[in-house]
Chains A and B, each alone.
Chain A
Amino acid sequence: MNVPNQGRLDPAGRVIMVSGANRGIGAAIAARLRQDGYHLSLGARTPDDIAIAAGDDCHHQAFDALDAASPQAWGDATAAKFGRIDGLINNAGIAAAFGFEDGDEADLDRMLEVNLKAPYRLIRAALPNLKAAGSGRIVTVTSLAGMRFKRGSPGYAMSKFAAMGLSSAARAQFWDDGIRVTAVAPGPVNTDMMPQGFTAETATQPETIADIVATVIAMPNNASVASVPINAVYEPLP
């Protein structure tokens, strides 16, 4: 028998949007939240690739982070199907080389669009429903590269730092609406986007990221975690 746990929100009936749900971290998040019993609204450029079948408790949406109108359309479709939105997981992200000695600003702009602006637009689109929910949750999958530069693309770091700023602002501004906002910041993860120098065994697993996301969105309003940095290798900070 299920004993209610005051220290954890009950997933039953809660509707969670997840971007980039067709592969990588997003697919793992979708799978974990499905197991937990959430209703899901899964966005991807190619929704046919989404592993969880669409149905009464799962909505598929063609979501393109490079299309400025796509977030609102997805938010509207989610609200139309379920009548509520309880959470938004800004997971979709891209990485491209962009450095100080060579760097095409088109690549920087694309990373800013997908890693900063699309999450911003999704927050705007979901906000009225998240406020109405009473215990709304926003999780943005940022990166350790958004907290400190260590290696890789400086432009990716800039876009992920900016996403940390988005998360910080949303956390402050929507606290009184009962919305809790968390940045989940992994290092290398075992997906298509895994950086050089790591293997499937040494990088963090997407399922682990999913477990962290699932934990934070179930935390009650009196237990807010602003950011969760996740290290695959030792660092003194963060």
Chain B
Amino acid sequence: MSTPNPGRLDPTGRVIMLSGANRGIGAAIAERLHQDGYLLSLGARAPESMAEQAGENCLCHAFDAFDPESPQAWVDATFAKFGRIDGLINNAGISEAFGFGSGDEAKLDRMLEVNLKAPYRLIRAALPHLKAAGSGRIVNVTSLSGIRYKMGSAGYAMSKFAANGLSSAARAQFWGDGIRVTAVAPGPVNTDIITDLGPLSREDITTPETVADVVAMVLALPNNASVATVPINCLFDALP
């Protein structure tokens, strides 16, 4: 028998939206949250690839981070099915090489669109429902590259720093509405989007399941235990 734990929110009946749910970190988060008993609204560019998960407890919906109308449409469909939204996991993200040598700003703009603007638009669309929920949660999967640059694409870092700014602003502005906001900031994670591992091997780096466990943990923290950022290091860094 389950003893209520006032130190942890009960997933029962709570509806969580998750972007980029079809693969990588998103797929791992979806699996973990499903196991925990949440109602899920999974967004991906090709929702049919997740069709086997769809059902009473799970909505699979199209979400295109490059389409400014897509967030509202997905939020509306989520609310229409479940009548509430308790959490939003801004997981979908992209990385492209962009640095001081190349200068192809189209790549920077794409990363700003997916890593900053789409999460902003999703927060904006979901906000009324998150406020109504009373214990709304927003988790932004940002990056250690959004806290300090160490290696890789400078433009990716710029976009992920901006995403941490988005998270910081949302955290401050919605505290009074009972919404808690966390930035989960991994270093390299073993998924398809990481191609240049440098001297590391896939066995050395963080797994998507671990990131999912961290997301599940912060999602269930009560309103009186807010964690602003969780940096996750697979290699030693003195900070963060």
- CB of B165 within 8 A of CB of A146, answer yes
User: How far does the alpha carbon of A100 sit from the alpha carbon of B172 in the complex, in Å?
Assistant: 12
Asked whether A73 is an interface residue with its Cβ less than 8 Å from the other chain, the reply is no
Q: Which residues of B contact A105 (CB under 8 A)?
A: 68, 117
Of residues 148 to 197 in A, which have CB atoms within 8 Å of B's CB atoms? 148-151, 154, 157-162, 164-166, 168-173
Asked whether B41 is an interface residue with its Cβ less than 8 Å from the other chain, the reply is no
- CB of A169 within 8 A of CB of B154, answer yes
- CB of A108 within 8 A of CB of B117, answer yes
Asked whether A8 is an interface residue with its Cβ less than 8 Å from the other chain, the reply is no
Asked whether B137 is an interface residue with its Cβ less than 8 Å from the other chain, the reply is no
Asked whether A124 is an interface residue with its Cβ less than 8 Å from the other chain, the reply is yes
User: Which single residue of chain A is at the shortest CB-CB distance from B117?
Assistant: A105
Residues in B lying within 8 Å of A, measured CB to CB: 68, 99-100, 103, 105, 108, 112, 116-117, 120, 123-124, 127, 145-146, 148-151, 154, 157-162, 164-166, 168-174
- CB of A162 within 8 A of CB of B161, answer yes
Q: Pick the 9 closest A-B CB pairs, nearest first.
A: A161-B165, A165-B161, A154-B169, A169-B154, A149-B169, A168-B149, A169-B149, A149-B168, A162-B162
- CB of B169 within 8 A of CB of A168, answer no
User: How far does the alpha carbon of A164 sit from the alpha carbon of B112 in the complex, in Å?
Assistant: 15
Q: Which residues of B contact A166 (CB under 8 A)?
A: 154, 158
User: How far does the alpha carbon of A112 sit from the alpha carbon of B169 in the complex, in Å?
Assistant: 16
- CB of B149 within 8 A of CB of A171, answer yes
Asked whether A103 is an interface residue with its Cβ less than 8 Å from the other chain, the reply is yes
Q: Which residues of B contact A173 (CB under 8 A)?
A: 99-100, 149, 154
- CB of A165 within 8 A of CB of B168, answer no
User: How far does the alpha carbon of A1 sit from the alpha carbon of B104 in the complex, in Å?
Assistant: 51
- CB of B100 within 8 A of CB of A123, answer yes
**Residue A150 contacts which of B100, B149, B172 (CB distance < 8 angstroms)?**
B172
User: Which single residue of chain B is at the shortest CB-CB distance from A100?
Assistant: B124
Contacts beyond the supplied A149-B173, A151-B172, A169-B158: 17 A-B pairs with Cβ under 8 Å: A100-B120, A100-B124, A103-B124, A108-B120, A117-B108, A121-B103, A123-B100, A124-B100, A149-B168, A149-B172, A158-B165, A158-B166, A162-B116, A162-B158, A165-B158, A170-B100, A171-B149
Q: Which residues of B contact A85 (CB under 8 A)?
A: none
Asked whether A101 is an interface residue with its Cβ less than 8 Å from the other chain, the reply is yes
Q: How large is the interface on A (under 10, 10 to 19, 20 to 34, 35 or more residues)?
A: 35 or more
Q: Which residues of B contact A170 (CB under 8 A)?
A: 100, 154
Asked whether A116 is an interface residue with its Cβ less than 8 Å from the other chain, the reply is yes
* Interface residues of A, dominant DSSP: helix
- CB of A165 within 8 A of CB of B103, answer no
- CB of A165 within 8 A of CB of B170, answer no
Q: How far is the CB of B224 from chain A (nearest CB, A)?
A: 19
User: How far does the alpha carbon of A61 sit from the alpha carbon of B149 in the complex, in Å?
Assistant: 32
Q: Which of A158, A165, A172 has the most CB of B within 10 A?
A: A165
- CB of A165 within 8 A of CB of B157, answer yes
Q: Which residues of A contact B108 (CB under 8 A)?
A: 117, 120
User: How far does the alpha carbon of A150 sit from the alpha carbon of B170 in the complex, in Å?
Assistant: 10
- CB of B158 within 8 A of CB of A116, answer yes
CB<8 Å pairs between A and B, sample of 20: A100-B120, A100-B169, A108-B120, A117-B105, A145-B165, A149-B172, A149-B173, A154-B169, A158-B166, A161-B161, A162-B158, A162-B162, A164-B161, A166-B158, A168-B148, A168-B161, A169-B99, A169-B154, A172-B149, A172-B150
Asked whether A127 is an interface residue with its Cβ less than 8 Å from the other chain, the reply is yes
A158-B100 contact given A100-B170, A168-B148, A172-B150, CB 8 Å threshold: no
User: How far does the alpha carbon of A126 sit from the alpha carbon of B64 in the complex, in Å?
Assistant: 38
- CB of B146 within 8 A of CB of A165, answer yes
Q: Which residues of B contact A123 (CB under 8 A)?
A: 100
